[in-house]
Structure 1
């Protein structure tokens, strides 16, 4: 009698919910750490090209959705653990930035964090691209936004 094994079916929608939830927690921690962000941001000397404070909430919402969808899309490829490790480290570094910058009022430590985040997200894009161009491309706007955030954080360190 032949032995058959069944592969459990993974529910992609439940997985998407998991990715959205994890990324939402990162965003929530940032939001909680930034309760006085508007006041702090307004007191800092900023470059002329600094975005208005009202832009950051909507932009981060879009970025967080892209991050969640990128992770989920990559998950659908049964991707490598190294890419997931980079993705997770990126989420952790993202989670740390807002508490460092606003709650901790350490723009220099926040700058170190965001530079590391830039590198990790770039590595994640490269690793995701090996299995899924879609997953990698979903992270490109995030990488661009991080480049802007890094430049802005650098300018704030220099000007303050």
Structure 2
């Protein structure tokens, strides 16, 4: 598979965020004071998506269908589902649970990819950190708006 294939796969997952946007519902929710500014989300995700695509392509070229590649595909599916759950269905609780699964898939990829490509593993570390932050934000928003 060509690198462009991985870019397209990542683009498809990213489209979930374009389809299921924060919108007015999210704007009315109470958020913690440390919530990143709105411009940070597309900026950070764009960088992360490039890193995710490259890591997937790197593992594919070195190991093909492998456990690491399976985890790469799983994290991409989970990544694409979060916006639908949180913004589309407005189910912050399910989105938080799903984010936990995404976190595990990312951490699993980091471990499984390391013997194949240290670079691919390291490219996922900022992703894991950002998803950790997103998880804390998801939990905080859920708690701050629990009675609503």
Bucket of the pairwise TM-score, normalised by the shorter protein: over 0.9
Counterparts of 1:80 and 1:125, CA distance in 2: 16
CA RMSD of aligned residues (A): 1.2
Once the two structures are superposed, the pairs formed by residues 1-160 of structure 1 within 5 Å of their partners are 15-34=2-21, 37-79=22-64, 81-160=66-145
Task: Count how many residue pairs are aligned between Structure 1 and Structure 2.
Answer: 145
TM-score (norm 2): 0.93
Asked if structure 2 preserves the Cα contact closer than 8 Å seen for 1:41 and 1:53, the reply is: no
Q: Which has the larger radius of gyration?
A: 1
TM-score (norm 1): 0.86
Structure 1: runs of 5 or more not aligned? 1-13
Asked if structure 2 preserves the Cα contact closer than 8 Å seen for 1:74 and 1:132, the reply is: yes
Q: CA deviation at 1:38?
A: 4.0
Counterparts of 2:100 and 2:70, CA distance in 1: 18
Q: CA deviation at 1:78?
A: 2.1
Task: Say which SS state the counterpart of residue 131 (structure 1) adopts.
Answer: coil
Counterparts of 2:120 and 2:64, CA distance in 1: 11
Structure 2: runs of 5 or more not aligned? none
